[in-house]
Amino acid sequence: MSLDKRILKEIILWQQSFIPGIQLQERDINIEPGGNYVFVGLRRAGKTYMLYQHIRQLLRQGHDIREILFINFEDERITDMRKEDLHLVIDAYRELFAYEPIIFLDEIQNIEGWEHFARRLADEGRNVFITGSNAHMLSREIASTLGGRFLIREIWPFTFTEYLQFQGVMLKEHWSLSPQKADVVRLLSDYFYFGGLSESFRFADKRLWLTSLYQKVLYSDIITRKSIRNERSISLLIRKLADSVMQPMAMKRLQNILQGDGTKINRSTIGTYISYLEEAFLCFSIPNFTDTIPLRETVRKHYFYDNGILNLFLIQPETKLLENLVAISLFHHHGERLYYYNYGVEVDFYIPDEQLGIQVSYSIADTQTCNREITALLKLNAYKPLKRMLVITYNEENTLIKEGHTIEIVPVWKWLVELDS
């Protein structure tokens, strides 16, 4: 039985009445005029609000709200929609308006084969914007079907600078030497422990909201979508990855840890499960710069896309949360050009393009800890000459000269703002 077009008409009209009144903080993202886009990222990272933001920009430019065709495919009235029904979206709009629609398709990954519909719309010269909470939307198969008609953008949780702006702190020149510094240091705490998913900011019990989101990602985006029968194994794997943040983990070691808890699982399945976590934008990983190509795929450091979700699994979390926060920011900026270094010396992060080495330590007030972090950077510099050496702490700042080299000790709140500027 075909989907009732009346439902689609109700959704289109409701969105047209709803969108102009939305309160939102605009984020800095450049959209090419006339470009078609696919926005991907973790659930609740702000993909839908990116569509709303662009619609508001179009309205300011003189477009009529009646030009907007917005469908959220997680609306319970159309959850049974199939790709054969997608043409009804355009038919329903045409029966309402005589405009040429600007099309917004939210969370369309729920419909298998959606990319063929999107390609046809683009081929017809329509302006189309799409969101999805699944990195499979970036796969070669889908990219091939879209045929270069769409630009792909990954939407991340709020950066620390965006979080400060949400809290009304607009940083001025020389802010770190002004009273604004106190606001920045004070506001770091919530962002550090509860992450950058903006929907959580308005909740007093952020942990409860984050737990609900994690369950939605786990069951809807991973277990149900991938038809996983062994829920216990993948839940336990996520907990072990959280507990092992900061440590390189080989598939064999993960297998031994899981089997030690009574879970029967092979390395191939572990690798598949990790790929599912990455597809759902729950986790990402970085390789060792010095490993061979095969080892780069099997021995990696794993991190979480948001500190708030990682913190659900941790006890005494500060050290792990600090390194995870630095990893998020570096991966956001450098992507596949980010490594750790482990060959004769262990360094937390290495960006060869910038000749940058970074150690992360919650505090280096202890002399032994300070010497260990600095020595590692100096050893890396002997193997791979560095232009810059950093030790990122929670709230300590200094500049040290060792063996004729400058090592910057930078508090994370200052480093995060500088990275965004």
Q: What pTM was computed for the model? A: 0.94
Average the pLDDT over each of 5-14, 88-97, 235-244, 247-256 and give the range with the smallest value: 247-256
Confidence at 2, pLDDT banded by 50, 70, 90: low
Same-domain pairing of 267 and 347: yes
Q: In the listed set 155, 187, 204, which residue is the last one of a domain according to the structure?
A: 155
Same-domain pairing of 242 and 107: no
Between CA 244 and CA 245, with CA 208 as vertex, the angle to 5 degrees is 10
Same-domain pairing of 318 and 390: yes
pLDDT value of position 390: 98
Q: What is the mean pLDDT of residues 388-417?
A: 96
Same-domain pairing of 344 and 394: yes
Same-domain pairing of 216 and 339: yes
Same-domain pairing of 138 and 182: no
Tens of pLDDT along 89-146? Answer: 999 999 999 999 999 999 998 798 999 999 999 999 999 999 988 877 776 667 778 8
pLDDT value of position 366: 95
Look at the chain and report how many structural domains it folds into: 2
Same-domain pairing of 222 and 338: yes
pLDDT value of position 29: 83
The rounded distance, in Å, linking the Cα atoms of 374 and 392 is 11
The rounded distance, in Å, linking the Cα atoms of 278 and 300 is 13
pLDDT value of position 144: 79
Q: In the listed set 106, 132, 155, which residue is the last one of a domain according to the structure?
A: 155
Same-domain pairing of 300 and 325: yes
Structure tokens at 378: 């100096």
pLDDT value of position 413: 98
Same-domain pairing of 277 and 415: yes
Same-domain pairing of 323 and 355: yes
> What's the CATH number where 139 sits?
3.40.50.300
Q: What is the mean pLDDT of residues 328-347?
A: 95
Tens of pLDDT along 346-380? Answer: 999 999 999 999 999 999 999 999 999 999 999 99
The rounded distance, in Å, linking the Cα atoms of 350 and 354 is 9
For residue 323, what are the domain limits? 163-420
Confidence at 174, pLDDT banded by 50, 70, 90: confident
Count CB atoms within 10 A of the CB of residue 239.
14
Q: In the listed set 130, 155, 180, which residue is the last one of a domain according to the structure?
A: 155
- Yes or no: say if 292 and 286 are a contact pair by the CB < 8 Å rule: no
pLDDT value of position 345: 94
Sheet holding 249-250, edge to edge: 249-250, 299-304, 283-287
DSSP conformation letters of 107-174: TGGGSTTHHHHHHHHHHTT-EEEEEES-GGGGSHHHHHHHTT-SEEEEPPSPPHHHHHHHTT--PPTT
Same-domain pairing of 241 and 330: yes
pLDDT value of position 312: 98
- Yes or no: say if 191 and 166 are a contact pair by the CB < 8 Å rule: no
The rounded distance, in Å, linking the Cα atoms of 282 and 18 is 30
Same-domain pairing of 240 and 326: yes
